[in-house]
Amino acid sequence: MSDTIPSLDLNDFKSDNLEKKEKFVQTLGKAYEEVGFISLKNYGLNTSIEEKLYEEVQKFFNLPLDKKMKYERPELNGQRGYISFGREKAKGYQQSDLKEFWHFGQELDDDDPLINEYEPNVNCDELPNFNVIGRKVFSILESTGLQILKALALHLDLDENYFDSKVKGGNSILRAIHYPPITSEPKGAVRAAAHGDINLITILMGASASGLEVQNRKGEWIPVTALPNQVVVNIGDMMSRFTNNKLHSSIHQVVNPPKEEWNKPRFSIPFFMHPRSEMSLNCLSSCITEDNPKQYADITAGQFLEERIKELGLKK
């Protein structure tokens, strides 16, 4: 783990010890201003849940392609269910990423005004436990994300609960990614081309395998490998925009392994925390200064997401 990516303990923030809580907020804020990434322990999951999740995820990706393709629904714009190999490109790239993935999305109450706006979830008939563990992990990481947002609210001199109502029922996604073994010269394609995440924050399980690299504000690429029993948490473009780029949404990528490791698959499972679509991403006035004038036009989270899904090639 590079010493430029601090390791934090979420229990310090949840502690009754004000000194520990304040130090957590301070370290988190500094890291997100400079690099955009941290490593986090005590994030809500345990080894047993994670092993079950990875077991079910591997079972799904090992299904025959015709079975997986039953769950690819073009009308869901790549937001739910299966997204086949080579379908997604990073913004600005012609080459598709070398990955296939599955999306678990938000489950809303029937009376929620956004119930018809979000794409419905897809269930895998062959693997009932895949659906169950996916929902469980989604719920746990959503709670973890809310704690990080509380700490960020304090760093931004907002009320600690500022984000609560904005992310409850937000259009968040748990993405299970499979990077298959590389069988021939990739011709310039990588497992995940350099990109910034769309959302507020991302919690990444599976950064324990090498390949993830982050670009800091100086333009330097830093390899990031999470310590055991930790996840990586980074800032997304929505949060960067909301804070007028005070908090840094790092460009990051997953590079191909050395040729002798091409035969090894790679799995990672990010949780992309999104707000409700009506949340305003207009730059916080406290983040607009003479030295840092307003950098972004006013927009809602829903409008921004729509733009980016089209740029990724998932929606026409």
Q: What is the pLDDT of residues 192-238, one digit of tens each?
A: 667 788 999 999 987 555 678 888 778 888 887 777 789 999 999 99
Gyration radius from the chain CA atoms: 19
Is 134 exposed, middle or buried, given 0-12, 13-18 or 19+ CB atoms closer than 10 A? buried
Give the three-state DSSP class for 286: helix
Which residue type is seen at 83? I
b/e code 84-107 from CB counts within 10 Å (16+ = b): ebebbbbeebeeebbbbbbbbbbe
Angle, helix 128-155 to helix 47-61, in steps of 10 degrees: 120
Q: Which of 5-14, 108-117, 163-172 has the lowest mean pLDDT?
A: 108-117
Confidence of residue 3 (pLDDT cuts 50, 70, 90): very low
Of 98-107, 114-123, 161-170, 222-231, the least confident: 222-231
Q: Which residues in the chain belong to E strands, given as ranges?
A: 7-9, 37-41, 81-83, 100-105, 173-179, 192-195, 201-205, 212-215, 221-223, 230-235, 252-254, 266-273
pTM of this structure: 0.88
pLDDT at 22: 97
Secondary structure (3-state) at 244: coil
- Whether residue 19 is predicted with pLDDT greater than 70 in this model: the reply is yes
pLDDT higher than threshold 60 for residue 94: no
- Examine the pLDDT at 104 and tell me if it is beyond 70: yes
Highest mean pLDDT among 27-36, 112-121, 250-259: 27-36
* CB contact at 8 A, 39 and 231: yes
Band of the pLDDT at 160, cuts 50, 70, 90?
very high
What the chain holds in terms of domains, given with CATH numbers, is 7-311 (2.60.120.330)
Over 50: is that where the pLDDT of 93 sits? no
Q: Which residues pair with 270 in a beta bridge?
A: 204
Could you tell me if 35 and 222 are in contact, meaning their C-beta atoms sit under 8 angstroms apart? yes
How high is the mean pLDDT of the chain? 86
Dig out the tokens for 184 from the structure: 């021939």
Of 48-57, 110-119, 124-133, 152-161, the range with the lowest mean pLDDT is 110-119
Q: Quote the DSSP letter at residue 169.
A: T
